[in-house]
Structure 1
Amino acid sequence: MSKKIIIIGGGIIGLCSAYYLKKEGHSISIIDQSNMDSGASYVNAGFLTPSHIIPLSAPGVMKKGFKWMLNPASPLYIKPRLDVDFLKWTYAFNKSCTATNVKKAIPLIKELNLLSQTLYDAIKQDENFTFHLEKNGLLMLCQTDKMLEEELHTARIAKGEGLDVSEISLDELKILEPKISISAVGAIHYKCDSHSTPQEFMMEMKTYLKNEGVQFLTNEKVEDLVLVNQKIVSLKTNKQTLEADEFVLAAGSWSAFLTKKIGLNLLLQAGKGYRINTHQSTGISIPAILAEAKVAVTPMNGYTRFAGTMEIAGINNAINTVRVEAISKAVSKYYPEIKLNDSEKNEAASGLRPISPDGLPYIGKSTKCSNLTIATGHAMMGWSMAPATGKLVSEIISEKHLSIAIQNCHPDRTF
């Protein structure tokens, strides 16, 4: 049965949800407080990463976080502040930094990523899309033996999960990347990974959805949800009141503000990431992560993108030039021939990634509201998990069998 559905949030998760819901014959409207041309869905590294099986909340991360608080250029920065939601999230995050949590998260993270890879391919083929998508794998470049050993440990886990991964020597690295000098002691090659150019997919998907009759309400902020008997009957924006049968909350880092309207305190923090683009001819052909610096490198269509840092400091879009400079220095440290210029650094952009305490997204309906499906909390893997999440959202609302068992993603879970 066709339903009228409003999706709150026009990022990659919202668009993919609209795509699969429209395929089921539903009437869709997407509402977003922005113009839908910036943010995390546009500035991310474009990775499709089954290799990223270890959640952010892993043993030792909190200890590193406290240590890095004193370093403004560190890969992870958690800004301490007297905010109840932040303190609750921090407590839950610390509790989640365990081997047990990692073991629970690995299979689900892998399944969501692998399904999304398949779905990206299917979308491109089914709709005759032309967005950039390549499967060249991913290199974990290490400059110290200690880091290489850590990455080898993760690689063994990934191999045990059936992923195509191998250690490569410096000679093999030179064969794989012959056009660029790389400063490293060794690398791990995840052949299972893919990469894309986010802007291209976003533009193509928005055009497709508009042509299919999906309504876009941009620069419109949802301010309230009106509930009757634990069911949303309407939502109020800064411009109007709207009604629908079902609602999808895919507002990224802003989602927790609206879940409070249904009595759900969704533990969620915004993790700011930065990107620098260069149109210089870098010679880089394979995406990489500069392991010690935690900087992502992506050869996109027409340019190379360098992205990194995780800055948990609330909702803000301010550009911290210290962190931009840290990314730039890391690039030159690993790729001595590349020097990012001031113009490229001045055009750096940021995006806010929604982070749950246990590193798993929130996907599903809370018991507090029968017609709201939540889809957020994907942290650094929103791009990589988006099609799978959109398909699951559609299956939940259309009451179909779920492609993946996602009980560990339930919005009502405790930490």
Structure 2
Amino acid sequence: MKHCIIIGGGIIGLCSAYYLQKEGHQVTIIDQSNMDAGASYVNAGYLSPSHLVPLSAPGVMKKGLKWMLNPASPLYIKPRLDSDFIKWTLAFNKSCHANHVKKAIPAIKGITLLSQDLYDDIKREENFSFHYEKKGLLMLCQTEKLLEEEIETAHLAKREGLDVNEISHEELKELEPHATFNVKGATYYKCDSHTTPHEFMTEMKAHLKAVGVQFFSNEKVEDLVVNNGKIEAVITKNQTLKADEFVLAAGSWSSILGKKLGLKLLLQAGKGYRINTTQDTGISIPSILAEAKVAVTPMNGFTRFAGTMEIAGINDKINKIRVEAIARAATSFYPEVELTQEEKNQAASGLRPVSPDGLPFIGKSSKCKNLTIATGHAMMGWSMGPATGKLVSEVISDKKPILDLNPFHPDRTF
């Protein structure tokens, strides 16, 4: 049995703690926040094998440069003179090619499908009651151009064995009889499912506390005690904590701590926003509004509209222009839905750790013998959480990982 300290209490940190504890390890979680907000709470709640194509795909950088001039665009990269940002941008641009996408697809498919199975296992084994439905995901398109692109992506997904079809307007009405659409057409991924994130997080924290996992919230790790390539302890404002193994799952803050160990984790914080409404939207199946890149999720008691990828450094400022863009997209695709000013005023944001190639960093770095890294999941943290946690526990328990970790290696070059 090892004593493991996990730095970060989001979905990745909690799932790592869950599987480490099941392996018989003693686990402590440290988080700089109150552990009730951020990306793990404001995400779209998707478990989406459909998202096979990594963020760094051909044409994305070109779009990003064009969208730089539009603060309401789905992807906004704020230019700034910062060496980490410049290195990340160059690496991101280098990854935006077809060969990378081809290599990334099997890795993304493997980890998302495993995660979906593990959500099932967790819910059954622990008798959790969090909201979890398997209704698939609609990709709604307003233009012929994007519909053609989505049909092409659906064909690719089908070749990978995923259950997806193009659907007609009539079939869309049959699937969603209580919603009104303004779309040209859609594709339907039956392989996807969805949850209400805060319900899972609340149940998982309660379970971990009940089985002896120790929590230190509102404690920022300020320094690390390192000796002979190993971490001996973490230092917070209030205490020094020793352990045998450490897990870096601090999301967008991971690269800051990594620097103390000489790690060059290329990460940028990608801010996303969400607006919740308790209005009767008539929406029962999750959808992505393709042109606007907005995710729509019918959650337990409300509907969530989430979106945008704003790469503008670590900050939690709410950009009203981006909130308005999400609200406008909702009404554009669902003409009978109009989000109120109060709902927009209550919008929240979260920071997602974005790697340059759209794949997470999972595993050990050669820089530190007793550190396992688990970060960089971008918009897929919720979809990949349980599988990442399982992989972390297998690495620390010296077991053969259930998936090939090479595509996720923290020391990979860009």
Residue matched to 1:386: 385
Higher mean alpha-carbon deviation, 376-385 vs 233-242, is at 233-242
Whole-angstrom CA distance in 2 between matches of 1:57 and 1:374:
21
Residue matched to 1:222: 221
Map Cα deviations across residues 213-255 of structure 1 (whole Å, 9 max, x no partner): 1000000000111111100011111111110000000000000
User: What are the residue-to-residue correspondences of 1:322-401 with 2, within 5 Å?
Assistant: 322-401=321-400
Q: What 5-or-longer segments of structure 2 have no aligned partner? A: none
State the SS of the aligned residue for 1:262: coil
Residue matched to 1:260: 259
Residue matched to 1:242: 241
Map Cα deviations across residues 28-80 of structure 1 (whole Å, 9 max, x no partner): 00000000000000000000000000000000000000000111100000000
How far residue 332 of structure 1 moved from its aligned partner, in angstroms, is 0.1
Whole-angstrom CA distance in 2 between matches of 1:281 and 1:112:
34
State the SS of the aligned residue for 1:183: coil
Whole-angstrom CA distance in 2 between matches of 1:287 and 1:161:
22
How far residue 402 of structure 1 moved from its aligned partner, in angstroms, is 0.7
Which amino acid in 2 is paired with 1:312?
I
Q: Does 1:112 align with 2:146?
A: no
How far residue 270 of structure 1 moved from its aligned partner, in angstroms, is 0.3
Map Cα deviations across residues 375-398 of structure 1 (whole Å, 9 max, x no partner): 000000000000000000000000
Residue matched to 1:192: 191
State the SS of the aligned residue for 1:336: coil
Which amino acid in 1 is paired with 2:47?
L
User: What are the residue-to-residue correspondences of 1:118-129 with 2, within 5 Å?
Assistant: 118-129=117-128
Residue matched to 2:407: 408
Which amino acid in 2 is paired with 1:366?
S
Residue matched to 1:50: 49
Which amino acid in 2 is paired with 1:128?
N
Q: CA RMSD in A?
A: 0.4
State the SS of the aligned residue for 2:260: helix
Residue matched to 2:100: 101
Whole-angstrom CA distance in 2 between matches of 1:278 and 1:405:
41
Residue matched to 1:272: 271
Residue matched to 2:284: 285
How far residue 121 of structure 1 moved from its aligned partner, in angstroms, is 0.3
State the SS of the aligned residue for 1:209: helix
How far residue 355 of structure 1 moved from its aligned partner, in angstroms, is 0.3
Whole-angstrom CA distance in 2 between matches of 1:170 and 1:76:
29
Which amino acid in 1 is paired with 2:185?
G
Map Cα deviations across residues 298-323 of structure 1 (whole Å, 9 max, x no partner): 00000000000000000000000000
How far residue 87 of structure 1 moved from its aligned partner, in angstroms, is 0.3
Which amino acid in 1 is paired with 2:35?
M
Whole-angstrom CA distance in 1 between matches of 2:308 and 2:232:
40
Map Cα deviations across residues 104-141 of structure 1 (whole Å, 9 max, x no partner): 10000011100000000000000000000000000000
Q: What 5-or-longer segments of structure 1 have no aligned partner? A: none
Whole-angstrom CA distance in 1 between matches of 2:263 and 2:200:
33
State the SS of the aligned residue for 2:149: helix
Residue matched to 1:143: 142
Residue matched to 2:70: 71
Whole-angstrom CA distance in 2 between matches of 1:249 and 1:238:
18
How far residue 164 of structure 1 moved from its aligned partner, in angstroms, is 0.1
Whole-angstrom CA distance in 1 between matches of 2:131 and 2:97:
37
Residue matched to 2:201: 202
Say how many residue pairs are matched. 414
Which amino acid in 2 is paired with 1:252?
G
Residue matched to 2:23: 24
State the SS of the aligned residue for 2:356: coil
How far residue 406 of structure 1 moved from its aligned partner, in angstroms, is 1.4
Which amino acid in 2 is paired with 1:124?
K
Whole-angstrom CA distance in 1 between matches of 2:110 and 2:411:
21
Which amino acid in 2 is paired with 1:187?
A
Whole-angstrom CA distance in 2 between matches of 1:108 and 1:225:
32
Q: TM-score, normalised by structure 1?
A: 0.99
State the SS of the aligned residue for 1:45: coil
Whole-angstrom CA distance in 1 between matches of 2:392 and 2:265:
18
Q: Which runs of 4+ in 1 moved over 2 A?
A: none
Which amino acid in 2 is paired with 1:54?
V
State the SS of the aligned residue for 1:310: strand
Whole-angstrom CA distance in 2 between matches of 1:121 and 1:182:
32
Whole-angstrom CA distance in 1 between matches of 2:225 and 2:87:
26
Q: Does 1:10 align with 2:14?
A: no
State the SS of the aligned residue for 1:308: strand
How far residue 409 of structure 1 moved from its aligned partner, in angstroms, is 0.5
State the SS of the aligned residue for 1:307: strand
Which amino acid in 2 is paired with 1:199?
H
